[in-house]
Amino acid sequence: MEGELTILDGISLDIAAGAQVAVVGESGSGKTTLLGILAGLDLPTSGDVWLDSTRITALGEEERARARARSVGFVFQTFQLIDSLTALENVMLPLELRGDKRAKEDAREFLSRVGLSARTTHYPRQLSGGEQQRVAIARAFASRPKILFADEPTGNLDTRTGAKVADLLFELNREAGTTLALVTHDALLAERCGATITLEAGRMRSDIEQELAS
Amino acid sequence: MTPALVLRFALRDWRAGELRLLLVALLLAVGTVSAISLFVDRLQRALEAESANFLGADRVISSSREIPERFRELARQRDLTLADLITFPSMVSPAAEDSPRNQLASVKAVTPGYPLRGTLRIAEAPFGDGRITASVPARGEVWLESRLFPALGVRIGERVSVGYAEFTVGAVLIAEPDRGGSFAEFAPRLLMRTEDVPATRVIQPGSRIDYRLLLAGDDDRLADLQEAIKEELAPNYRWRSIRDANASIGRALERGESFLLLGGLLAVLLAGVAVALGANRYARRHFDHVAVLKTLGATPAEVQWGYVGVLLVIGVAGALLGLLLGIVVHLGIIAVLGSFLPVTLPLPGPRPIFVGLVTGFICLLAFALPPLLGLRKISPMRVIRRDLATSAVPVVTYGFASAGSLGLLVWYSGSFFLTLWALLGAVVAGGVFATLALLLLRGGRVLGMQAGSTWRLALAGLQRRYRENVAQIMIFGLAIMLLLIMLLVRTALIDEWRAQIPEHTPNHFVMNVAPEEADAVQALLTEQADYDGELFAMIRGRIAAVNDVPAAQWHKRRRGPGRPGPGIRSERNLTFAEELPDNNVVVGGEWWPPEGTEEPSVSLEDEYAAALGLAVGDTVSFDIGGLPLTATVANTRRVEWDSLQPNFFIIFSPGALDGYPATYMTSFFLPSARKPFLNELLSRYPTVTVIELDAIILQVRSIIDRVTSAVELVLYLVLVAGVLVLIASIQSSRDQRLKEHALLRALGGTRRRIAGALVSEFAVLGVFAGIVAVVGAEITVYALNRQVFELSAGLHPWLWAAGPALGMVVIAAVGYLATRKLVSSPPIAVLREV
């Protein structure tokens, strides 16, 4: 038996509505796991998570999914577009799931906001990495989420493209007043957020410092 | 999710090509099954109709008593067509008073409309080919079978007397459909009208008369009539269909149907496997898709119902298109086979359509649904952690699939045994095969260490993904096994049928040859007909006593009074022989030496001996025309009664029958072109009796030929289904394989080497699958042949070489063709796509 592996331990944090928080740390420090738990994709073995004043740790999978549909948007390092759908259809997807009648119009509008109105009928594999991530950003904002979770959004892009994508992300975020939780190990990107949480081996740096101080 | 959204998702998946394999598999499942069942249904109807010719009707009620008028009324009420028929033996003589010739004839009196099925053939001269006629003799007219003309010395237009009445000879009767395959009616036929029977005054109390009511019409109505008069039938009236009427045709039909069902059943299994593979691949390609949907807020229930909805869309499309395909394919089959088939096939009933549709939906539920149900469990975390283990296919999936196949098979075949044996084969195959496949893979890896680099690459690849490969070997093995089963059973069946009536089967019997004429008749036959046999003595006699106990007493003691069975005291044909006749096998005791035995010995047919309680060593006393003869039972024989050779219950040792009054008989083959020879034979030896079986043999052969071509056709359809499974299976493992090989290419492997490794990998899988298939096929075919088709069973050594070779070639070829395109595209494209 290998015994249980503790990935996150003693994490306690508040992210205020409209705040922009970066989660940084080395590979394996638990950033991604933390993001998954905050967004309700996964459940912690102990502890609670409140998302938009809902205690999502008390919810079943069905309700958590609904909570996500209501108030959460995602941008992933690997874009996570669906290969078999066009750019437009990918953006429409969250709107369609909500039963939004204006899915197509809204999606078109967001695609033009990210500068891709000419590529609506293209499939992901016909788009460059930067373009794919812009589609993903359009998809994330199209459902007008209250909270946006971004997992290394520029991690798969070269520096210049990454910077452009980051600009777009922060611009749309500012316009919509969305709460942003961003996981990255890019120090420059982290600096653009108002606050930074540093993880080390599953614990928050500030906590560790406190422990050392006391 | 709204239905509109589901439909949109389904359309998008379709556009992306994700659903194509699944739809094609489903299409072929429904298409194959409905094509087979449409064709089989129509062919069965046609065969039944053709076989009905043997009865001259669809059903017959026969009795030694007059058929009650009530039966006729009830039949008429059900819109059935009917005809009456009375058969009785009677002496016939030329009307000229001074004529000394007279001849025992089997008189058949009929009403207009006879025969209800099949046709009468008549001619203007004896032994001609004749022409079909739709009429029956007019009142006051009789039609005579060819051999009655030389026997009576009459010509068409002359008068003959039957009992107290005189008739005009109207035509030569060449063939009647219900002549019967047995030798019960030795006497030549005279056909007349039932209305003329009373005038002959032949029918007296105690006469041997067979009354028949011929019935034709809709199957359901016939069954309804049978139900209505069931109580009144027993024990004096017999209800007969073709299956009761002619054992060998009935058996050929039944086996043929069993085989067609087996074919349909295996096609269902194969198509089901293809559907399962298609669905599995679809599900696996949707793991990420589902994870994304979930992060976007789709609930597990929505995911589940969404995919069930997509499946439903595909199901409806697949079932309807499949049905269309089935109809087109079966029309194609009929067009191709046009010349082999009966002139027109009857229209199919509704069942094949229903069978096709239900098959499609059960295939979906049992084979396609389970992997898709697993999708709801995909964790959304997969979007950020690609390595997150995906839940393995749950055991319940296999439960679904097994239950589905079982239900489908039992329902489809309607035959518990057939299903049981086919499934038993599959289960045994499953257990043994997994172990075998694993051992083969392990062994292959060890061998591969010594092999060249291409093979090493291939074998290492196989061993690395042994779980998937064991599964794939089993699927390939299953497909090949099912094909081998079909092939072996078909071969056994057709051989058996062909053996039953080989070319040059004797088609005429000559009997009643006087001892002094025997040599001359034999010489004539040798000269004119295809004949090299010998004449058998035929002496009429009965058993008088057994072990000194009078026969009647022996029989009563053994059977108890009133029990049915062959009468011990009935008169039988006796003969003697030096050598054991062909088609006979000694089962008890020993055949005597050619010079005979000192004391008279006798050989008895096995079942006859058993029924009379006689065993080797018993002493049996015979009464031969008043003369006694006592002999010891030397042996018992099994006789092939269908062989159309002279067969005897009782054969004596040579010399035992010397001095007893004998006539001689034999059978010979006469091609139809040389039939007029019979005229010469009968004119020269007027007392000789000739029995013509050529028409019956032709009929039996034509039915068997048609069943045979149907059987072969179904084999081809199953082959198509089998190839589909192979393709589906290769497709479903394509992504994994290609990813590996693309990586190898990225690392610098040449295209040639990658292609080589892929082909080698498939070839090895093919050989292993072939071995596995041969083991399974041998076991299943053994069981099927023994239990269902009642054929002799044995191993097939050639198969052990052919199976693996076939597996290697076919799977390497299909595998290479299915993956070729991607091997030759740039590695980056492959890596992106999968």
B564 pLDDT higher than 50:
no
A211 pLDDT higher than 60:
no
pLDDT at B767: 87
The partner residue sitting opposite B299, judged by closest CB among A62, A72, A82, is A62
Query: Among B387-391, B554-558, B820-824, which stretch is predicted with the lowest mean pLDDT?
Result: B387-391
> What are the backbone dihedrals phi and psi of residue B464, each rounded to the nearest 5 degrees, phi first?
-60, -45
Average pLDDT over residues B5-26: 80
Query: Among A183-197, B347-361, B733-747, which stretch is predicted with the lowest mean pLDDT?
Result: B733-747
Interface probe for A, chosen from B7, B8, B292 (most Cβ of A below 10 Å), is: B292
**Which residues in chain A have Cβ-Cβ distances shorter than 8 Å to B15?**
84
Q: In chain B, what percentage of residues exceed pLDDT 70? A: 76
Which among A6, A14, A8, A7 has a CA at the least distance from the CA of A147? A14
User: Mapping DSSP to helix (H, G, I), strand (E, B) and coil, where does residue B349 land?
Assistant: coil
Tell me the per-residue pLDDT of A120-179, one tens digit each, with 9 for 90 and over.
999 888 899 899 999 999 999 998 999 999 998 988 888 888 888 899 999 988 888 999
| Amino acid letter, B121 | R
B184 pLDDT higher than 50:
no
Question: In sequence order, what E strands does A33-161 have?
Answer: 50-51, 54-55, 72-75, 147-151
CA distance B704 to B501: 10
Tell me the per-residue pLDDT of B690-702, one tens digit each, with 9 for 90 and over.
777 776 677 667 7
Tell me the per-residue pLDDT of B808-829, one tens digit each, with 9 for 90 and over.
898 888 888 877 766 666 666 5
Tell me the per-residue pLDDT of B119-165, one tens digit each, with 9 for 90 and over.
888 998 888 878 889 899 999 999 998 888 888 888 899 999 888 88
B520 pLDDT higher than 80:
yes
Q: Is the peptide bond before B826 cis (omega within 30 degrees of 0)?
A: no
Tell me the per-residue pLDDT of A84-100, one tens digit each, with 9 for 90 and over.
889 999 999 888 888 88
B354 pLDDT higher than 90:
no
What's the length of chain B? 834
**Which residues in chain B have Cβ-Cβ distances shorter than 8 Å to A61?**
299-300
Contact A65 B832 (CB under 8 A): no
Contact A62 B300 (CB under 8 A): yes
Size of interface A-B (CB pairs under 8 A): 91
> What are the backbone dihedrals phi and psi of residue A115, each rounded to the nearest 5 degrees, phi first?
80, 25
Contact B297 A76 (CB under 8 A): no
Alpha helix (H) ranges present in B531-619?
551-559, 606-612
The helix-helix angle for B247-285 and B287-295 (nearest 10°) equals 50
The partner residue sitting opposite B380, judged by closest CB among A41, A89, A98, is A41
Contact B295 A80 (CB under 8 A): yes
The partner residue sitting opposite A96, judged by closest CB among B5, B292, B295, is B5
CA distances from A68 to A39, A51, B223, B380 (A): 7, 9, 66, 11
B441 pLDDT higher than 90:
no
pLDDT at B182: 42
Mean pLDDT of chain A: 86
B221 pLDDT higher than 60:
yes
Contact B13 A69 (CB under 8 A): no
> Mind telling me how many Å the CA of A37 is from chain B's nearest CA?
9
Handedness of CA B430, B436, B438, B440 (dihedral sign): negative
| Amino acid letter, A87 | A
**Which residues in chain A have Cβ-Cβ distances shorter than 8 Å to B296?**
68-69, 74, 93-94, 97, 139, 143
C-alpha gyration radius of chain B: 35
Q: pLDDT-based confidence at B388, cuts 50/70/90? A: low
> Mind telling me how many Å the CA of A84 is from chain B's nearest CA?
5
The residue written with tokens 């912690």 in the block is A44
The partner residue sitting opposite B295, judged by closest CB among A74, A81, A84, is A74
Nearest-by-CA chain B residue for A62: B299
pLDDT at B183: 42
CA distance A155 to A153: 6
Q: Which residues touch B358 (CB under 8 Å, ≥6 apart)?
A: B411
Interface probe for B, chosen from A35, A66, A72, A96 (most Cβ of B below 10 Å), is: A96
The partner residue sitting opposite B381, judged by closest CB among A42, A83, A85, is A42
User: Mapping DSSP to helix (H, G, I), strand (E, B) and coil, where does residue B361 land?
Assistant: helix
Q: Which residues touch B675 (CB under 8 Å, ≥6 apart)?
A: B127, B128, B694
Tell me the per-residue pLDDT of B472-518, one tens digit each, with 9 for 90 and over.
777 788 778 877 887 887 777 777 766 666 777 778 888 778 888 88
> Mind telling me how many Å the CA of B732 is from chain A's nearest CA?
18
Stated as kind and residue range, the H or E segment containing A20 is strand A20-25
> Mind telling me how many Å the CA of B265 is from chain A's nearest CA?
36
> Mind telling me how many Å the CA of A212 is from chain B's nearest CA?
33
Tell me the per-residue pLDDT of B327-337, one tens digit each, with 9 for 90 and over.
887 887 677 66
Q: DSSP letter string over B308-328? A: HHHHHHHHHHHHHHHHHHHHH
Q: Which residues touch A2 (CB under 8 Å, ≥6 apart)?
A: none
Contact A39 B15 (CB under 8 A): no
B212 beta partners: B62, B85
**Which residues in chain A have Cβ-Cβ distances shorter than 8 Å to B1?**
97
Q: Which residues touch A92 (CB under 8 Å, ≥6 apart)?
A: A103, A104, A106, A107, A142
pLDDT at B426: 65
CA distance B220 to B59: 12
Do β-strands A20-25 and A179-183 pair in parallel, antiparallel, or remain unpaired?
A: parallel
B246 pLDDT higher than 60:
no
Q: What ipTM goes with this model?
A: 0.86
Contact A151 B384 (CB under 8 A): yes
Q: Which residues touch B363 (CB under 8 Å, ≥6 apart)?
A: B26, B29, B30, B268, B271, B272, B275, B404, B408
Q: pLDDT-based confidence at A108, cuts 50/70/90? A: very high
CA distance B315 to B515: 77
pLDDT at A200: 86
Q: What angle do CA A186, A192, A198 make, to 5 degrees?
A: 55
Contact B289 A35 (CB under 8 A): no
B563 pLDDT higher than 60:
no
> Mind telling me how many Å the CA of A65 is from chain B's nearest CA?
4
**The token pair that represents B489 in the structure block:** 């059973």
Tell me the per-residue pLDDT of B607-654, one tens digit each, with 9 for 90 and over.
888 888 888 999 999 988 788 889 999 999 988 766 667 788 899 988
CA distance B182 to B196: 27
Q: What angle do CA B457, B463, B468 make, to 5 degrees?
A: 115
Contact A74 B379 (CB under 8 A): no
The partner residue sitting opposite B383, judged by closest CB among A76, A83, A97, is A76
Average pLDDT over residues B396-420: 68
Q: pLDDT-based confidence at A62, cuts 50/70/90? A: confident
B562 pLDDT higher than 50:
no
Mean pLDDT of chain B: 78
Q: What angle do CA A116, A121, A126 make, to 5 degrees?
A: 80
**Which residues in chain B have Cβ-Cβ distances shorter than 8 Å to A82?**
288-289, 292
CA distance B684 to B688: 9
Numbered residues of chain B with Cβ closer than 8 Å to any chain A Cβ: 1-2, 5, 8, 12-13, 15-16, 18, 288-289, 291-302, 379-381, 383-386, 832-833
**Which residues in chain A have Cβ-Cβ distances shorter than 8 Å to B293?**
93, 97
Q: Are B446 and B737 in contact (CB under 8 A)?
A: no
